[in-house]
A and B are shown apart, each in its own frame.
Chain A
Amino acid sequence: MTPDAGTPDPGIPDAAALPGTAIKVEGLHKAFGTNQVLQGIDLTVSTHEVICLIGASGSGKSTLLRCLNLLEPINAGRISLWGQEITAAGIDQNLVRRSIGIVFQSYNLFPHMNVLQNVTLAPRKALGTPRPQAEEEARTLLSRFGLLDKESEFPDRLSGGQQQRVAIVRALAMRPQIMLLDEVTSALDPELVAEVLDVIRELAASGMTMLIATHEMGFARDIARRVCFLEEGRIIEDAPPAELFTAPKDERTQRFLRRIIAAGRL
């Protein structure tokens, strides 16, 4: 997954060449109509860092990720990647999105394309990669995640876990430097969760910078270097998992974790 020289410059500096702060979010506000979803998010993510976002449904985790991918216009604040503001006027959103992959809870594979077409569409049409090369790269990624035998299947013939792994591969095919995972296991049957989490573990081990919204507390404790607890559009607590899960400082975090424990999710 090292960007090669042939890839057109996406406008964002190479992560390997620029360690330090990958994502910087300052005073981010987002509202849908009168519904204030994000109310001043400040967050800094270092290169290669894995951060988990936890919090109840509606706390703003998904919206934060969608704002980072520029899928949602923001109302106030700024987002920078390696020092370059991507929420400024005149930024080419398509260029930014190429370097930030996002994977959704509901997979959102293209149902009219088979697995290989799903994975190669963006490299071919957004990067201009010739078809043979795009397919070769796609096959490399598919085999890395145990999906090579599925390349000519259509999404509706795959299990949820397989679909979600294809969705991850599809995002990785754009050679992003950051991956945003939006509750990627929430729609899966329990027995399929592990295969997707394994993929994410592998990504983390390969040094991918990741922001992961999740309800899997055990997984978050396992994989994250920092865990952020969100409530009502604010980051209430931001700490290493060992600290946040065992000795949460804020009363609201404690209350949330008590509920999670009561539900048997931790």
Chain B
Amino acid sequence: MDDKQVDPPADPFTGLPGASARTIGGAWQPPGSFGSAGRGPRLFGGGGRRATAISTASTLVVLAALAAAFLLAPGSAVVRHTFFDPRDMWQSFIGNPKKGYYSVGEALWLNIRMFLTAEVLILAFALLIALIRQSVSPVLFPFRVLALIYVDFFRGVPLLLVILAIGFGIPALRLPFVSVQSAAIYGVAALVLSYSAYVSEVYRAGLNSVHQSQVAAARSLGLSQSTALRYVILPQAVRNIIPPLLNDFISLQKDTALVSVLGAIEANEAAQIYSSTVFNYSSYAVAAVLFLILTIPLARFTDHLIDRDRRRRLAGATA
């Protein structure tokens, strides 16, 4: 008899969520305005003109409150002058080598190059680590142990220490070639070592998310293990991990700033030089804005990829 109570979709006694009993977000929606015309299901808030008006008003109120708190604070004038002085921001953005400081805008280019180089290397290296950790062959056992030690080590040691160790340690070895590289190169090496440990775990989660029956289906068709991996398993695995993967890369973009400890003139270092030359911190605000300009497009691009993939699979079109 218990079964009979559970079966109906919205039983008031069992409290099971029914189709109409409980909706996420809980907003009442006027008839005829189900879902916004936008893409995908909206989890929070509903569509409709009324909802738009409410959300606009609410946003304005919150922003006004924050602005008032900032402007009315006792030290507001000092903070605005020290951190957000328009003239200083502009000066630090364009730079002036004659006065002893570099352009933060130009220095950002180094961050971008470090980021792009590191990203490509991380994608490849982390995949290799993940595949080694996922392997089953007894021959590869020592490599599996090494990969495990590597991942444990570099996930545990703070990135800053890795950068310092490589940036100062390798030149101290006075080896030919490897000891005479630029700070940016050592920085990239440290970023790759540290981030690959994380990203390899993301890959592994992706590989595990592909059902074993997909492997069986591919192998049963006579595809070799590597062909099955390349065309059947990896594409599905990567699709499943695009959000966490790009999330790691957004964080990598900012962490290129840590390479400043090696003296590489990237945006953060340039901002620091400006502040210690002119005694105004507005250069840091410039660096922050520039990093935001870098990371926000990547975040939106992530959303776009997820969305496109979902739509393509739902539409089921395109040859």
Q: Measuring CB to CB, which residues of chain A are less than 8 angstroms from any residue of chain B? A: 66, 69, 71, 93-95, 97-98, 101-102, 104, 106, 108-112, 114, 116, 121-122, 125-127, 151-154, 156-157, 170-171, 174
Contact = CB atoms under 8 A, between A and B. Distances in A.
B219 A126 contact: no
A151 to B, nearest CB: 8
A240 B297 CA distance: 68
Contacts of A104: 213, 216-217
A228 B317 CA distance: 43
Given A94-B224, A126-B223, A174-B222, A156 B316 contact: yes
A154 B222 contact: no
B220 interface: yes
Contact of B223 (A94, A102, A151): A94
Interface string B247-269: 00000000000000000000000
List the 8 closest pairs (A to B, CB-CB), nearest first. Answer: A157-B316, A98-B222, A108-B217, A122-B221, A97-B222, A152-B319, A126-B222, A154-B316
Given A94-B222, A97-B221, A126-B223, 13 more contacts: A95-B222, A97-B222, A98-B222, A110-B232, A111-B236, A112-B236, A114-B316, A114-B318, A121-B221, A121-B223, A122-B222, A125-B223, A156-B314
Given A98-B222, A125-B227, A110 B319 contact: no
Q: For chain B, which range describes its interface: under 10, 10 to 19, 20 to 34, or 35 or more residues? A: 20 to 34
Which secondary structure characterizes the binding site on chain B?
A: helix
Given A97-B219, A108-B217, A156-B313, A126 B318 contact: no
A170 B235 contact: no
A162 to B, nearest CB: 12
A152 B319 CA distance: 5
30 contacts: A71-B219, A93-B219, A95-B222, A97-B220, A97-B222, A102-B220, A104-B213, A104-B217, A106-B213, A108-B214, A110-B217, A110-B218, A112-B235, A112-B239, A114-B316, A121-B232, A122-B223, A125-B223, A126-B221, A126-B222, A126-B223, A127-B222, A152-B317, A153-B316, A154-B313, A154-B316, A156-B313, A171-B220, A174-B221, A174-B222
A98 B221 CA distance: 6
B252 to A, nearest CB: 26
A122 B218 CA distance: 8
Contacts of A108: 213-214, 216-217
A109 B313 CA distance: 14
A125 B223 CA distance: 7
Nearest to A100: B220
A66 B214 CA distance: 14
A157 B236 CA distance: 17
B279 interface: no
Contacts of B316: 114, 152-154, 156-157
Contacts of A122: 221-223
A91 to B, nearest CB: 13
Nearest to B220: A102
A184 to B, nearest CB: 13
B168 interface: no
Contacts of B313: 111, 154, 156
B172 to A, nearest CB: 49
B217 to A, nearest CB: 4
Contacts of A93: 219
Residue in B219, B221, B313 with the greatest tally of chain A CB atoms within 10 Å: B221
Contacts of A101: 220-221
B216 to A, nearest CB: 6
Interface in B273-319: 312-314, 316-319
A152 B220 contact: no
A233 B236 CA distance: 35
